[in-house]
Every structure is written in structure tokens, then in C-alpha cells.
Amino acid sequence: MKRPQANRRRFIKDSVGTAGMIVVSTLSKGTSSAHSPDTRASGNLGTAGQQSTPKIRFSAIGLNHAHIYGQVGAVLRGGGELVSFYAKEPDLAAEFAKRYPQAKLARSEKEIVEDESIKLILSASIPEDRAPLGIEVMRHGKDFMSDKPGITSLDQLAQVRSVQKETRRIYSIMYSERFENAATVKAGELVKAGAIGKVIQTIGLGPHRMNIKTRPQWFFDHRHYGGIICDIGSHQADQFLFFTGSTKADVVASQVGNVHYAQYPEFQDFGDVVLRGDQGMGYIRVDWFTPDGLSTWGDGRLTILGTEGFIEIRKNVDIAGRTGGSHLFLVDQKETRYIDCSNEPLPYGNQLINDINNRTETAMSQEHCFLATELALKAQKQAQKINIRK
């Protein structure tokens, strides 16, 4: 029994040593400092890292959320070639064209969907429109990557599942809080290596900033984005399944409410969920209450509890004072460690492209993708309504 534990500790020391390990007995106190989140997730790299001979040609349809730039950035890093895009909104199309001058503005969605040279289509359209587009894309023999939420109702999920099974195409949802956060990627490696023993529970916190003046009208109506758990909570459902290893799970309890923004009666600003899987438990809290005093849009956190220790991830900011994002804290039976994960690789884009070319499931299994969405949708549908008197 002592030998596996020693091997686990040796692996951890080897891995964190290359990341600039710092051993701490207590976390230092301090004030937050302004920083920019991991730019690899924003698409700002343009064609950096792209191979001279692209692995696939891909396009984008629907640019209604800025997450499209992170999606494009991931595929470019993986070796894809962005060849075209389409958006009904001239301002969104102009901004995208400025960022990616190598891509052609198509005359219609049809022009892209019927282009046989394109293997993958990305979308960050209005959430309720993503599943119908994905179905059309799959029926044209192409793979699809949606921003989250990739599906906004259980009826849509049933249709997507049916068409995916029929066509055998890939319907991927980019759960960026896992795929595009380096600390979360690193945590996956550590958990797989047994660094904290058997995972018992995940606690995922997804706070966001409102930025009312910059939000489009559809943002304030849950009928367009599916509701707060369907939307933000899908990230945490994905991480719960991934880190516990659960392949079956149920919603124990959930609740949603609009406790502060009475001027937007169809909006939801708070939600939480309790999950139980066949390999572990999970708790999710999501909200729109990030204060303006924070240096980033949200202090996203993930705690992974194991039988031999725990990992805490501060995805975007360490309010104790360390700069940047992708902070990981690991506590085991021996000591407490801090790991700066900002330079860890993000493999999702490359894995997805390899899956497209080889018809494999290395980036994410199709069933995992759908189950994470199903949990978020069920939690949303059965959520009790919160009524807090002011």
C-alpha cells in the first residue's frame, strides 16, 4: 500500500516542479490585481500555432456570443483552417472579419453548409437556435461544435440525439470552463494519476458579471437561453461528470430565481443544483452577481474532493493577490501546494480535429456531452422558484 502512495507523490512532485511549484502551509492574504484572463481562450492568437498544412477546413455560423472567438482559437491551435463565416448581423460580421481577415463572409448559411470541403462548423448563435443549426449541419455530413448551452430544451436534446445517432457525426459542446482553462486541464491529469485518491464530490461555482449595457435583448429572456442552470450550469455539470467519472447521474434538487433584477422579469440571476452520480456527488452554484470591484468577469472556482486530499481551482483570478488566472491548489496527506498552470497546454482543439479525421472520441465522448446537457436541462426544468422578500 505504501508503494502506490509514494509513486503518486513522486508523480505530483515531478509534474508540479515543471510548473513552478510553491509549497505553502497557509494561503497568503492580499488584494486582487488587475489582469487579463488566459488569452488562449479568447481567439486572440489568430493563426498562431496553426500548421502549414491544415488538418481540416472549418467555418463559423452565428456570432451572437463572444465565445465564438474562443471556439475559433481552439480549432486554429489544433491545426484547422478558418475559411468562411456567416452572421445576419452586419456589426457582428464586421468585427469577426476584422479579427480573421483570412476568412470569407459567406452569402448565406446554405453556402457554408453545402460546401463539401468544410468538415466542421462552429456556432455561438442565440442559444435556442444552436440545436436546429447543429441538426442541419449533421444532416449535411459535417461535424458541429456549439458554444454552451448547445441545447436549450429536452425536446431539442431528443432530436439532436436522434440525428447524431442516425448520421454518426460529432456534436460537440465547448464546455470552456474545463476545455479552455489550463488549471482545470491540469487537475484532470492529477486526478487521473491518483493525486487525491478517489473523487467523492465536486463543487462548481460559476459567478458572472451582468454588464447590462452591453447585453443583447435575448440575454434577459430565459426562453431564448434556456435558463441560468441550462446556460452557465452546463459547465459545472460537465466537470462533475468528468472528475467523478460518473456515467449515470440524477438531479437531487435544484432552484432558480430572479432575486435582484425586477426590471427583467424573464431573467434568472441565481441557481443551484445538487447532483448524485454512480461515482460521486456534485454541487453547483451559478449567479450574475460579480461586483465591479473584481478584476475579471467572475471568480470561477472548482473544488474536487477526494479520499486522499482535495484540489481547488481559481479559474480566472486569485483574490489573495497572485496575478493572472489558472491557479491550482493541491492538498494531500503530506502538504499543501500551489501550482501556476498558466502555461499548461490546452488540448481540446487538437483532440477534436483528430476525432473528426479518425472518427474517435478523445476530446469528449458523445454520451458525456449529451449527459452533461441532460443534467442541466433536467435541473432547470424541475427547479423550484426562489422568492426572497426585499
359 lies in some domain: no
Q: Are residues 140 and 272 in the same domain?
A: no
Which of 27-41, 60-74, 191-205 shows the lowest per-residue confidence on average (mean pLDDT)? 27-41
Tell me: the pLDDT tens digits for 124-148?
999 999 999 999 999 999 999 999 9
Residues 7 and 93 in one domain: no
Pair 293, 169 in one domain: no
- Largest Cα–Cα separation, the chain: 65
Chain-wide mean pLDDT for the chain? Answer: 89
User: Which domain, by its residues, includes 288?
Assistant: 2-37+178-347+380-384
User: Is 291 contained in some domain?
Assistant: yes
On whether both 106 and 11 belong to a single domain, the answer is no
List, as one string, the DSSP characters of 150-198: S--SHHHHHHHHHHHHHH---EEEE-HHHHT-HHHHHHHHHHHTTTTSS
What per-residue confidence (pLDDT) applies to 388? 85
- Checking if the pLDDT of 191 tops 90, the result is yes
Which CATH number fits the domain that encloses residue 77? 3.40.50.720
> Residue 3's pLDDT is what?
38
pLDDT of residue 52: 60
pLDDT computed for residue 163 by the predictor = 98
Residue 327: in which H helix or E strand, if any? strand 327-332
- Mean pLDDT of the 220-244 span: 97
Cβ 280 vs Cβ 201: under 8 Å: yes
**Whether the predicted pLDDT of 33 surpasses 50:** no
Q: Which stretch of 22-36, 303-317, 373-387 has the lowest confidence by average pLDDT?
A: 22-36
Do 93 and 31 reside in the same domain of the chain?
no
- Can you give the pLDDT at residue 390? 63
> Which residue intervals of the chain are DSSP H helices?
2-17, 67-77, 90-99, 109-113, 130-139, 154-167, 176-179, 182-192, 222-225, 228-231, 233-244, 348-358, 366-382
Domain end residue (candidates: 150, 174, 198): 174
Write out pLDDT tens, residues 132-188. 999 999 999 999 999 999 999 999 999 999 999 999 999 999 999 999 999 999 999
Domain assignment present for residue 367? The answer is no
Q: CB 266: neighbour CB atoms within 10 A?
A: 11
Last residue of a domain, one of 153, 174, 195: 174
Domain count, the chain: 2
C-alpha to C-alpha distance for 201 and 305, rounded to whole angstroms: 5
Question: 13 versus 55: which is more confidently predicted?
Answer: 55
pTM summary value: 0.87
Q: Are residues 330 and 194 in the same domain?
A: yes
pLDDT digits (tens, 9 = 90+) for 279-338: 999 999 999 999 999 999 999 999 999 999 999 999 999 999 899 999 999 999 999 999
